[in-house]
Amino acid sequence: MENGSARPQNLIETTDALEAVSACQSMKNVFFTLILIGLIFCQIVFWLNHFGLIAKNVCNPCKIESAAAGKCAKGVCTPVFLAATMDKVGQVEPAAVDSQAAQAVQPPADKVESAGPTKPEDPQTTASVPAQEQVEKSGKVGLKEKIALFHISCRFAKGLVAVCNFVILAGAILYSLSLLMCVKISLAGRLGGINHSVRAFFISLLLLVMLIPWQVILPKAMLGAVWLPGELLCGGWCRADGVVLWKVMLYLRFCGLWLVAVWLLLWTQIRSAKWARATLRRLGLAR
């Protein structure tokens, strides 16, 4: 009788453990999906900013911070995103730019007189210049029309990044806790697959450490895969336009760390899936 009563009790405990594991797995998958979506949207904002599809000409914080951060080694330079946005949206008038360029190129009158008479211009060359100007202007107009169809406001981009950061960090914490619960349930219910579940838990902890914005907690010491809206949108990465080293640093900051975080997230999910298969195989529910 004692042996017969112990066996149903073990079966009930195993069934309860499987139900708890199933609930933890479903929540873990939800948190995994939220983290992945948040990371993808942050990367989309980066590439929109990279191609100048975020309108920053009406954003006062961007103007102030970009003016403060736009001083390069060769003098004061306008950040890439501000110049591209002003040109594409139509804030800079081509006539004013042409007049300033003509005044800068035109030599003084005394130097022209001392140089002697000038050679007559080729009529074919003078006739081709207006045609080239018309082609360039039409190309600029077409580019402005395309940009006007796809650009988003800087305030919307900042809000989107802030929401994604909250979802990523909160999801990463809950993701690690759900994996910890799975480890405890596996140990208590003797479900097996402890190797995969423990590895998945520690990889999730590494992912959480990777995602923490250390640049806020420990400035100028560490960086996290999660970046604040002001770092990219108002950071003034003007040196990345002409210097190769700064361009490499830009891509490593906003793309390299992002790839590492996504790789750790996928690795954790794969490990947890192996643990689930090992558990089912041990209970005889799968081969």
Is the whole model's pTM more than 0.75, yes or no?
no
Distance CA 167, CA 161 (A): 10
pLDDT given for residue 85 in this prediction = 40
Mean pLDDT of the chain: 73
- How many C-alpha atoms does 190 have within 13 Å on its Cβ side? 5
Per-residue pLDDT of 240-274, as tens digits, reads 677 888 889 889 999 999 999 999 999 999 998 88
Q: What is the pLDDT of residue 66?
A: 52
Closest CA to 78 of 237, 233, 231: 237
Which pLDDT does position 172 carry in this prediction? 96
pLDDT of residue 151: 74
Please give the pLDDT value at position 94: 45
What percentage of the chain exceeds 70 in pLDDT? 59
Residue 168 has pLDDT above 80, yes or no: yes
How confident is the model over 55-100, as pLDDT tens digits? 876 666 565 555 554 444 333 333 433 344 444 444 444 444 455 5
What confidence category does residue 41 fall into, taking pLDDT thresholds of 50, 70 and 90?
very high
Average pLDDT over residues 202-225: 92
State the average pLDDT over residues 229-236: 78
Instruction: Give residue 246's pLDDT.
Output: 85
